[in-house]
């Protein structure tokens, strides 16, 4: 079963560098196929740092996540937490 979620990005730096690294690490920690993209655009595989950063997603942009697999809901919960936590809070 495929689960979907749309999230507004909070980290000031957008989905670049540290937030993207944490995001991709979390994707790879789960038993689910996950994709990410802007709503209405073709998504990319979320387990690739290059693919994720190439989206150019900035603070305040919406992203659409799709997860399919054993722990899809847990994966989406963790990814939403990463995407909606200000970077200064995530660093602590």
Which pLDDT value is given to residue 41? 94
Helix/strand/coil percentages in the chain, nearest 5: 40, 25, 35
- CA atoms of 28 and 15, how far apart (whole Å): 16
Catalytic residues: 16
Which pLDDT value is given to residue 44? 97
Over residues 16-70, the pLDDT tens digits come to: 888 899 999 999 999 999 999 999 999 999 999 999 999 999 999 999 999 999 9
Q: What is the pTM of this model?
A: 0.92
- CA atoms of 88 and 50, how far apart (whole Å): 23
Instruction: Examine the pLDDT at 92 and tell me if it is beyond 90.
Output: no
Over residues 1-21, the pLDDT tens digits come to: 799 999 999 999 899 888 899
């Amino acid at each position: 079963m495929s689960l979907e979620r749309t999230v507004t990005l909070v980290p000031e730096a957008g989905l670049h560098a540290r937030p993207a690294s944490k995001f991709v690490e979390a994707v790879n920690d789960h038993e689910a196929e996950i994709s990410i993209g802007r709503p209405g655009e073709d998504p990319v595989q979320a387990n690739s740092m290059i693919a994720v950063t190439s989206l150019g997603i900035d603070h305040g942009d919406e992203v659409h996540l799709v997860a399919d697999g054993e722990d899809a809901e847990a994966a989406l919960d963790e990814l939403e937490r990463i995407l909606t936590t200000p970077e200064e809070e995530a660093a602590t």
